[in-house]
Structure 1
Amino acid sequence: MKSKPKFWILIAFYQLILIIIVISSVNGIITLVAAQGTAGTRDPMTSSALAIAAAISVSSAVFASAFAIKTVGTAAISALSEREEAFFKAFLVVALAEALAVYGLIVAVLLWTLI
């Protein structure tokens, strides 16, 4: 089997395992909170959907950020090898690409607080 399809199959398999872990941990947290007397206002399926949405927001933002950094970083290194005064512009674009991952994390935290 070629290495690229094998890699993507492994990524998909690990994502499925991660989704199962998130669903089971969220249901366990909801049961623990309900046993303590402060019943949640959401049913387990809504909480699981919110947890999966948080995971998707982080993963998609990180993948987009990684792709942007890969593309921009290569161009920035090429530009810096020719002209050193382009450092600030290159640094700014790479920093903006890194901010994508932070925005995904912020959205995930906001979704997680709804659980």
Structure 2
Amino acid sequence: MERKYVLLSILPLILSSILVGAVTPASTAQGFEGINIGAGLAIGLAVVGAGVAVGMAAAAGIGVLTERRDMFGTVLIFVIIGEGLAVYGILFGLLMLFAKI
């Protein structure tokens, strides 16, 4: 049984090494060399910021909910606003990658 899992874990490595050799890189247009780094930074920083916002809002929300259960909707709205930052960052990064300017 253990041998089966070892083989299943090695198989993706073998397949990915075969596929990497078969893929040829596409040529990039003039002036678009850093677009991938920019999109990665946009997504990464937005998600980190959203994580900090949700962490702070959730921690404060848990404190509020221990005393007043009727504030659940308000706490949920603040947490959702923090999550919206991540969604906007991902959308902006995808627009950067796939927009033809």
Q: How much is the aligned-residue C-alpha RMSD, in angstroms? A: 1.7
Aligned residue in 2 for 1:68: 53
Q: Which runs of 4+ in 1 moved over 4 A?
A: none
- Give the TM-score normalised by structure 2: 0.70
- Identity among equivalent pairs (%): 25
Larger radius of gyration between Structure 1 and Structure 2 = 2
- Look up the equivalent residue of 2:97 and give its one-letter code: W
Aligned residue in 2 for 1:84: 69
What is the count of residue pairs matched by the alignment? 77
Q: Larger relative CO (CA 8 A, sep 6+): 1 or 2? A: 2
Describe how 1:1-115 pairs up with structure 2 within 5 A: 28=25, 30-31=26-27, 42-43=29-30, 46-114=31-99
Q: 1:48, CA displacement in angstroms?
A: 3.0
Listed one character per residue, the Cα deviations across residues 24-72 of structure 1 (whole Å, up to 9, x for unaligned) are xxx92x23xxxxxxxx6x23xx333111110000000001000001111
Gaps of 5+ in 2: 1-23
- Higher relative helix content: 1
- Look up the equivalent residue of 1:102 and give its one-letter code: V
Q: 1:73, CA displacement in angstroms?
A: 0.6
Q: Give the Cα separation in 2 of the matches to 1:113 and 1:48.
A: 14
Q: 1:97, CA displacement in angstroms?
A: 0.2
- Give the TM-score normalised by structure 1: 0.62
Gaps of 5+ in 1: 1-26, 32-39
